[in-house]
C-alpha cells in the first residue's frame, strides 16, 4: 500500500502541468482557484501566493487558510495559511504551505512586502525558505528562493501584472542537477463593471511548456459570486463560488484534469 501511494505521488509530481515539481511555487486561494489560478494581475489577499504586488491595496489586517485535495488522493493533500498586515510603509505578509504525506513532504515559508508607488503602480517581493523531506534514509534538504512582481493600471479597470519566481534557479540536489524551476507569469485583468472581472494569463516555467489560463468572476447578487476558468498544457477546467458573511469570506472551488480527475479546494478569509 505504501509503495502504491509513493508511486502515485511520483507520477503526479512528474506529470507536466498537473502538480508542481519538487520545490515548485504552489499557488493557493479559493477565489483564484475557481478562475484556474489566472490571478497575476489581481489585487486581493490571495496575491500573497500569486503576485505579492497585489497586496499593496489591502486596507485592513487579514488572515486566511486554504486546503486542496489533489485528484481526491489523501497522499496529495495541500494546505496553506497566510496573514497580511498593512503598515504606513506598505503591507507585510507571512505565508506557510505544506504538501505531501508520511513518505514525502514539502514545506515553504514566505515573508513578503508590497507597496504602492503612486496611484497606478504597485510592486512586491518575497523571501522564501523551502524544506523537502524524504522518508527512510533519504534525508531532507533546504533552499532559499525569492520572488517579485508588479501590477500597473493602464486605464481605469484595466490592470497588467507580471511575477517572477526563483530567478536564480536554486538547486534542490546534486543528483541529476535537480533545481527549483524559474517561473514567469504575466497577464491582465479587466473589470467590465463592479460585478464582472475577466482575467487572462500566460505562464512559462523553466521545466515545462508554456501554459495559458483564463478566468471570470461574476457577482450575481450582493455577497455571492460564481467563477470559472480554463487552462492549457494539459487542458483543465475550474469552477467555484464564494460568499461573504460579515468579515468572513468563504470560497469553494474545484479544478478538473482530463486524465487525473477532480481537485476540490476551499479557503476561509477573515478581515480584521
In which element (H, E) is residue 73 found? none
Helix (H, G, I), strand (E, B) or coil at 159: strand
479557503: which residue's cell?
267
How far is it, in rounded angstroms, from Cα 71 to Cα 263?
Answer: 5
Cα distances from 232 to residues 35, 119, 185, 189, in angstroms, run: 13, 34, 14, 18
Mean of per-residue pLDDT scores for the chain: 90
Question: Pick from 188, 255, 228: which is nearest to 17 by CA?
Answer: 255
194-234: pLDDT as tens digits: 999 999 999 999 888 899 999 999 999 999 999 999 999 87
Helix (H, G, I), strand (E, B) or coil at 40: coil
CATH 2.40.160.40 fits 2-271, yes or no: yes
Q: What is the mean pLDDT of residues 47-65?
A: 97
79-112: pLDDT as tens digits: 999 999 999 999 999 999 999 888 888 999 999 9
All cell numbers assigned to 30: 479559493
Check residue 3 and give its pLDDT: 43
Label residues 144-165 b or e (16+ Cβ within 10 Å = b). ebbbbbbbbbeeeeebebbbbb
Amino acid at each position: 500500500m505504501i509503495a502504491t501511494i509513493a508511486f502515485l505521488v511520483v507520477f503526479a509530481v512528474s506529470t507536466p502541468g498537473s502538480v508542481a515539481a519538487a520545490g515548485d511555487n504552489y499557488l493557493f486561494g479559493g477565489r483564484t482557484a475557481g478562475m484556474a489560478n489566472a490571478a497575476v494581475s489581481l489585487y486581493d489577499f490571495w496575491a500573497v501566493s500569486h503576485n505579492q504586488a497585489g497586496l499593496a491595496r489591502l486596507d485592513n489586517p487579514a488572515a486566511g487558510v486554504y486546503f486542496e485535495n489533489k485528484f481526491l488522493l489523501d497522499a496529495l493533500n495541500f494546505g496553506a495559511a497566510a496573514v497580511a498586515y498593512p503598515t504606513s510603509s506598505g503591507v507585510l505578509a507571512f505565508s506557510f504551505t505544506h504538501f505531501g504525506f508520511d513518505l514525502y513532504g514539502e514545506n515553504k515559508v514566505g515573508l513578503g512586502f508590497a507597496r504602492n508607488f503612486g496611484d497606478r503602480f504597485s510592486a512586491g517581493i518575497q523571501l522564501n525558505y523551502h524544506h523537502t523531506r524524504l522518508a527512510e534514509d533519504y534525508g531532507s534538504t533546504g533552499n532559499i528562493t525569492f520572488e517579485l512582481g508588479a501590477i500597473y493600471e493602464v486605464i481605469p479597470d484595466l490592470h497588467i501584472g507580471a511575477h517572477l519566481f526563483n530567478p536564480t534557479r536554486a538547486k534542490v540536489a546534486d543528483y541529476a542537477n535537480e533545481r527549483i524551476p524559474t517561473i514567469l507569469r504575466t497577464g491582465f485583468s479587466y473589470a467590465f463593471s463592479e460585478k464582472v472581472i475577466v482575467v487572462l494569463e500566460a505562464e512559462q516555467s523553466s521545466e515545462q511548456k508554456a501554459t495559458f489560463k483564463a478566468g471570470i468572476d461574476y457577482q450575481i447578487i450582493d455577497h455571492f459570486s460564481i467563477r470559472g476558468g480554463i487552462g492549457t498544457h494539459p487542458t483543465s477546467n475550474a469552477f467555484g463560488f464564494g460568499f461573504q458573511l460579515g468579515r468572513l469570506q468563504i470560497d469553494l472551488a474545484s479544478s478538473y484534469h482530463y486524465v487525473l480527475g477532480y481537485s476540490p479546494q476551499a479557503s476561509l478569509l477573515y478581515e480584521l
